[in-house]
């Protein structure tokens, strides 16, 4: 069954009492059929769950309310493509690494299609991509980065994309 768009998410409010469910607190989540082909997750405090009839639900499970998370930044393919174009031929290794990260994001967003990974035997690796709607192959050298460099690079990209 295709579940996309058919399960409405619950909230951080107890479905029975209307009281907020605090991050880190236990709760019981249950899947209810609300109309033909549509489902809803309902969250209950442990005390409120005791008054529920589990047979009314398709499924139920215990969980911990997660902490609120910052919304993920939306990646704009046009901005990433421009960054990639501007940085791909630079001499600075960090800027070229940022171009590589943009190319990876463009593959993820399906603006680029990954054709193959090449490992010529000299210890390097490169990906060959093509922009959607084009036949022009682009070769992107994979930078050799430490974990700290990777995190710094990701921070740089997010800073550029968020305008901070």
Strand order in the sheet with 38-44: 7-8, 38-44, 26-35, 59-64
Q: Are residues 22 and 48 in the same domain?
A: yes
- Tell me the HSE value of 123 on the side-chain side, using a 13 A CA sphere: 1
Work out the pLDDT band at 36, boundaries 50, 70, 90.
low
- List of residues 6+ apart from 110 with CB closer than 8 A: 132
Token pair belonging to 41: 């997750």
pLDDT in tens, 104-137: 999 999 999 999 999 988 888 899 999 999 999 9
Residue 15 has pLDDT above 90, yes or no: yes
The pTM for the full model equals 0.54
Q: Are residues 59 and 85 in the same domain?
A: no
Residues 138 and 125: their CA atoms lie apart, in Å, by 14
Work out the pLDDT band at 4, boundaries 50, 70, 90.
very low
Q: Are residues 24 and 101 in the same domain?
A: no
Q: Are residues 85 and 55 in the same domain?
A: no
Residue 162 has pLDDT above 70, yes or no: no
Residues 60 and 79: their CA atoms lie apart, in Å, by 43
* Domain encompassing residue 114: 77-162
Give the torsion sign (CA, 30, 36, 37, 38). Answer: negative
Q: Are residues 91 and 150 in the same domain?
A: yes
Work out the pLDDT band at 7, boundaries 50, 70, 90.
very low
Domain presence at residue 156: yes
DSSP class of residue 108 equals H
Total domain count, the chain: 2
Token pair belonging to 132: 């959607």
Domain presence at residue 127: yes
Domain presence at residue 72: no
Q: Are residues 57 and 88 in the same domain?
A: no
Angle (deg, nearest 10), helices 77-87 and 93-108: 150
Q: Are residues 90 and 144 in the same domain?
A: yes
């Amino acid at each position: 069954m295709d579940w996309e768009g058919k399960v409405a998410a619950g909230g951080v409010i107890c479905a029975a009492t209307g009281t907020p469910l605090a991050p880190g607190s236990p709760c019981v989540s249950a899947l209810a059929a609300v109309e033909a082909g549509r489902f809803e997750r309902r969250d209950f405090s442990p005390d409120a769950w005791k008054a529920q009839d589990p047979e009314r639900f398709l499924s139920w499970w215990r969980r911990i309310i997660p902490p609120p998370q910052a919304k993920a930044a939306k990646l704009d393919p046009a901005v990433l493509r421009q960054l990639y174009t501007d940085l791909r031929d630079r001499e600075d290794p960090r800027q070229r690494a940022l171009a590589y990260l943009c190319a990876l994001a463009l593959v993820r967003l399906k603006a680029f299609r990954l054709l193959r990974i090449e490992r010529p035997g000299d210890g390097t690796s490169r990906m060959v991509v093509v922009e959607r709607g084009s036949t022009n192959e682009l070769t992107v050298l994979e930078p050799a980065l430490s974990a700290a460099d990777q995190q710094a690079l990701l921070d740089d990209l997010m800073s550029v994309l968020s305008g901070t």
